[in-house]
Amino acid sequence: AEAEDGGPQPEKHCGHGRGGMGEDVKRKEDQRFITGRGNYVDDIKKPDMLHCEIVRSPHAHARIENIDKSRALDVDGVVAVLTADDLREYDLATMPTLMADTQDVLVNDKVKFQSQEVAAVIATDRYTAKDGAQKVVVDYDVLEPVVDAEESLEDDAPLIRDDIEGQEDNHCLDWETGDEEATAEVFEEADVTVKEQMLYQRLHPAPIETCGALGDYDPGKDKLTVHMTSQAPHIHRTLFAQVSGIPEHKIRIVSPDVGGGFGNKVPIYPGYVVAAAASYVLEQPVKWVEERSENIQSTGFARDYDMTGELAATDDGEILAVRTDVLADHGAYNAVAQPSKFPAGFFNIFTGSYDIDTAYGSLTAAYTNTAPGGVAYRCSFRVTEAVYLIERMVKVLADELGMDPAEIRRKNFIQPEQFPYESPTGWNYDSGDYEGALDKALEMADYDHYREEQQRRIDEDADTLLGIGISSFTEVVGAGPGKTCDIAGVEMFDSAEIRVHPTGNATVRVGVQTQGQGHETTFAQIVAEELGMDVDDITVEHGDTDTDPYGLGTYGSRSTPVAGAAAAVASRKVREKAKAIAANELEAAEEDITWDRETGEFHVAGAPDRSITITEIAAGAYMNHPSSEEPGLEAVNYYDPPEMTYPFGSYIVVVEVDRETGEVEFEKFVAVDDCGNRINPMIIEGQIHGGLAQGIGTAMLEHVTFDDNGNVTGGDFMNYLLPTSMEIPNFETGHTVTPSPHHPIGAKGVGESPTVGSPPAIVNAVVDAMSHAGITHVEMPMTPDTVWEKLDEAGLST
Q: Is 752 a catalytic residue?
A: yes
Can residue 524 be called a binding residue for ligand MCN (CB under 6 A)?
A: no
The string of DSSP codes covering 707-721 is -TT--BTT-STTTSP
543: which DSSP letter? S
User: Among residues 110 and 678, whose Cβ is nearest to ligand MCN?
Assistant: 678
Can residue 557 be called a binding residue for ligand MCN (CB under 6 A)?
A: yes
Q: Which of 231, 297, 687, 694 is catalytic?
A: 231
Can residue 513 be called a binding residue for ligand MCN (CB under 6 A)?
A: no
User: Among residues 285 and 518, whose Cβ is nearest to ligand MCN?
Assistant: 518
- Scanning 12-20, 105-113, 627-635, 749-757 for contacts with ligand MCN by CB under 6 A, the matching segment is 749-757
Return the SS3 of 218.
strand
Helix count (H) and strand count (E) of the chain?
19, 32
* Residues touching ligand CUN, count (CB under 6 A): 13
Shortest Cβ distance from residue 646 to ligand MCN (Å)? 12
Can residue 429 be called a binding residue for ligand CUN (CB under 6 A)?
A: no
d(CA 467, CA 465): 7
Shortest Cβ distance from residue 198 to ligand CUN (Å)? 20
Q: What are the backbone angles phi and psi of residue 116, rounded to the nearest 5°?
A: -65, 150
User: Among residues 54 and 375, whose Cβ is nearest to ligand CUN?
Assistant: 375
d(CA 28, CA 519): 9
Can residue 690 be called a binding residue for ligand CUN (CB under 6 A)?
A: no
Contact 295, 210 (CB under 8 A): yes
757, interface contact from ligand CUN, ligand MCN, none, CB < 5-8 Å by kind: none
Q: Which of 339, 556, 754, 759 touches ligand MCN by CB under 6 A?
A: 556
Can residue 262 be called a binding residue for ligand CUN (CB under 6 A)?
A: yes
- CA-CA distances (angstroms) from residue 725 to 226, 671, 692, 757, 760? 36, 18, 12, 20, 21
d(CA 554, CA 548): 14
Q: Which of 18, 252, 378, 659 is catalytic?
A: 378
Can residue 748 be called a binding residue for ligand CUN (CB under 6 A)?
A: no
522, interface contact from ligand MCN, ligand CUN, none, CB < 5-8 Å by kind: ligand MCN
* Contact mark string toward ligand MCN, 567..586, x via CB under 6 A: --------------------
d(CA 119, CA 14): 56
d(CA 284, CA 303): 39
Contact 796, 714 (CB under 8 A): no
Can residue 377 be called a binding residue for ligand CUN (CB under 6 A)?
A: yes
Q: Which of 107, 376, 389, 526 touches ligand CUN by CB under 6 A?
A: 376
Q: Which of 679, 704, 737, 766 touches ligand MCN by CB under 6 A?
A: 679
Subset of residues 531 to 560 that bind ligand CUN, contact rule: CB under 6 A: 555-556
- Scanning 388-396, 442-450, 553-561, 704-712 for contacts with ligand MCN by CB under 6 A, the matching segment is 553-561
Give the residue among 342, 349, 434, 313 at the shortest CA–CA distance from 736.
434
Q: Which of 560, 637, 736, 771 touches ligand MCN by CB under 6 A?
A: 560
Contact 145, 61 (CB under 8 A): yes
Q: Which of 52, 172, 211, 379 is catalytic?
A: 379
- CA-CA distances (angstroms) from residue 126 to 122, 129, 272? 9, 5, 16
> What is the SS3 string spanning 779-790?
CCCCCHHHHHHH
Strands 506-510 and 538-541: parallel
Can residue 528 be called a binding residue for ligand MCN (CB under 6 A)?
A: no
- CA-CA distances (angstroms) from residue 317 to 215, 240, 399, 412, 767? 59, 53, 11, 8, 19
679, interface contact from ligand MCN, ligand CUN, none, CB < 5-8 Å by kind: ligand MCN
Subset of residues 200 to 229 that bind ligand MCN, contact rule: CB under 6 A: 207
The H-assigned helical ranges of 512-552 are: 519-531
Other residues' Cβ atoms within 10 Å of the Cβ of residue 708:
12
Q: Which of 751, 757, 759, 781 touches ligand MCN by CB under 6 A?
A: 751
Can residue 515 be called a binding residue for ligand MCN (CB under 6 A)?
A: yes
User: Among residues 379 and 582, whose Cβ is nearest to ligand CUN?
Assistant: 379
- Scanning 252-260, 376-384, 416-424, 701-709 for contacts with ligand CUN by CB under 6 A, the matching segment is 376-384
Can residue 750 be called a binding residue for ligand MCN (CB under 6 A)?
A: yes
Subset of residues 239 to 278 that bind ligand MCN, contact rule: CB under 6 A: 260-263
d(CA 788, CA 729): 22
Q: Is 231 a catalytic residue?
A: yes
Subset of residues 177 to 236 that bind ligand CUN, contact rule: CB under 6 A: 231
Q: Which of 230, 284, 299, 380 touches ligand CUN by CB under 6 A?
A: 380
Q: What one-letter code names the amino acid at 763?
A: V
Q: Is 201 a catalytic residue?
A: no
363: which DSSP letter? E
Shortest Cβ distance from residue 373 to ligand CUN (Å)? 12
736, interface contact from ligand CUN, ligand MCN, none, CB < 5-8 Å by kind: none
Q: Is 455 a catalytic residue?
A: no
The H-assigned helical ranges of 587-721 are: 614-623, 681-700
d(CA 676, CA 4): 10
d(CA 760, CA 386): 10
Q: CB neighbours of 630 closer than 8 A, spacing ≥ 6?
A: none
d(CA 505, CA 484): 38
What residues line the site for ligand MCN (CB under 6 A)? 207, 260-263, 378, 515-519, 522, 554-560, 675-680, 683-684, 687, 690, 747-752
What residues line the site for ligand CUN (CB under 6 A)? 231, 261-263, 266, 376-380, 555-556, 752
Which residues are the active-site residues?
Answer: 231, 378-379, 752
